[in-house]
Amino acid sequence: MRELHQVQDDSPERSILARLILSNQQVEADPLEELHGLATTAGTEVMDELVQRRPSADHSTYLGKGKVEELRLMVERHDADLVIFDNDLSPAQTRNLEKAVGAKVLDRTELILDIFAAGARTYESRLAIELAQLEYSLPRLKRMWTHLSRQAMGVGMRGPGEKQLEVDRRLAQKRIHDLKQELSKVEQRRERQVKARKESPTVSLVGYTNAGKSTLMNALTEADVLAEDKLFATLDTRTRRWQLPGWGTVLLSDTVGFIRDLPHSLVASFKSTLEETRQAELLLHVADASSPTVFNQISAVYSVLKDLGIEEKDTLLILNKIDAIRDPATLNRVLDRYPNAITVSARSCKGLTLLTEAVGEALGREFLDLEIDVDAADGRLLAFLAAKGEVVSQTCDETTITVRVRMPTGAMGQVHRSALAIRPADGDSMSSEATEAVPVPDNPVSDSSTEVA
């Protein structure tokens, strides 16, 4: 997919950050801190920053005339290639600003899409990001001329004018249609795959980008997933077996982080990457308690969960990075608001025992509808299923009894040890032996799909 800020040589593009703050808007102490992180992640060198407070956005240039002129001078002074806005701009505003300041202009959504495009490694995340980018670009088609020409058109079809634009638009629409079809196939496949693993409950880490989800995953399962001080370090889903002490095996998934104002098309097209999260029995919402914007981050995550239609899932709030909090009052403020939150430091492994206990307890509240094959001679397991679960039906052949039962997930450890096979009541077969055979601690269950790069 298109690199929005590709340059000829290897030197990073020089960017200027800009943000309009509406007069009634509450903002962080440093209103451009997050955008700075995003711009750096995207590989640009930030040269300067500009903030304007105003009652409303200018219809044609977003910022007021005076500020646009200030921006133009900044671009000139720093020889900047790029102005990045923390806001979303209309296609016309982008065009007018580009003309006025003499540099390329990106808005926040475009920047986030660009970071995803550069970082996506798996087939499904590449499809997802290409779809999100195309949907975003369609009304701005003039700007993606070269990209589409290069990708899908023959030499003879090139040439300026409205006719060309029509061709481009049709090509983009066709590609969007194809991508949606392909993604829907991938989604269905993933849905089946994840369902087939339902013999163990899935716990999914969710949270704002950079909150420490991958670090926590590594600390809990001794997995070796990438964790770094960078926004959107994780763009796909990793699932590992987690031996929950005193409980049994659960599957722990780490996935892409969220951010405020995440483009809706991006959330929609990442549906398949977020399949584990959508099917999880329990969400661990990891928040960076040391961040001055922790409250905003927590609500941004709830809002994405809502977009995904899973805001009502059982969720534990994990306040991470408590080692980095200087003033205890900061943590108390968060705990006042979220008294049931669990405080941890994934980096120094503090609080993990309490976290583990809380997860075990939360999962104990859940039930699984299963079909379990039991050795006909295993009277103990049959008695256990009858005692702990709600047996719906029982069929048998010479050697095996198949029990349909609703089991509390908390009792599944014993079942795992003795059953011949465990399937979701409506799903495909899955041998319990196969699930036991996967080595722990470095125990990948799945990475969201084959790495393509």
Q: How far apart are the first and last CA of the chain?
A: 14
Q: Which two tokens stand for residue 446?
A: 């799945």
Q: Which residue reads 């800020």 in tokens?
A: 5
* Interface map 242-261 toward ligand GTP (x if CB under 6 A): ---------------x----
Partners of residue 249 on adjacent β-strands: 243
Q: Which two tokens stand for residue 146?
A: 């070269």
Can you tell me which of 3, 228, 314, 390 binds ligand GTP, judged by CB under 6 A?
Answer: 228
Q: How, if at all, do strands 421-424 and 444-447 pair? A: unpaired
Q: Decide: is 327 part of the binding site for ligand GTP (CB under 6 A).
A: no
The residues, any chain, with a CB within 8 Å of residue 296's CB and separated by 6 or more, are: 28, 260
Closest by CA position to 352, among listed 225, 217, 247, 189: 217
Minimum CB separation from Mg ion for residue 209, in Å? 8
Minimum CB separation from ligand GTP for residue 212, in Å? 3
Q: Decide: is 212 part of the binding site for ligand GTP (CB under 6 A).
A: yes
Q: Toward ligand GTP, which CB reaches closer, 105 or 304? A: 304
Q: Toward Mg ion, which CB reaches closer, 129 or 233? A: 233
Which of ligand GTP, Mg ion, none has residue 325 at its interface (CB below 5 to 8 Å by kind)?
A: none
Which of Mg ion, ligand GTP, none has residue 277 at its interface (CB below 5 to 8 Å by kind)?
A: none
| Cis upstream peptide for 441 (omega within 30°) | yes
Cα 319 to the center of its chain, rounded Å? 18
d(CA 366, CA 352): 21
Minimum CB separation from Mg ion for residue 207, in Å? 9
Which of ligand GTP, Mg ion, none has residue 119 at its interface (CB below 5 to 8 Å by kind)?
A: none
Contacts to Mg ion by CB under 5 A: 213-214, 233-234
Which of ligand GTP, Mg ion, none has residue 210 at its interface (CB below 5 to 8 Å by kind)?
A: ligand GTP
Partners of residue 391 on adjacent β-strands: 405
Q: Decide: is 75 part of the binding site for ligand GTP (CB under 6 A).
A: no
Closest by CA position to 38, among listed 285, 262, 248, 311: 262
Minimum CB separation from ligand GTP for residue 236, in Å? 10
Minimum CB separation from ligand GTP for residue 297, in Å? 11
Q: Which two tokens stand for residue 47?
A: 């040269």
Q: Decide: is 307 part of the binding site for ligand GTP (CB under 6 A).
A: no
Q: Which positions lie near ligand GTP, rule CB under 6 A?
A: 207, 209-215, 227-234, 257, 320-321, 323-324, 345-347
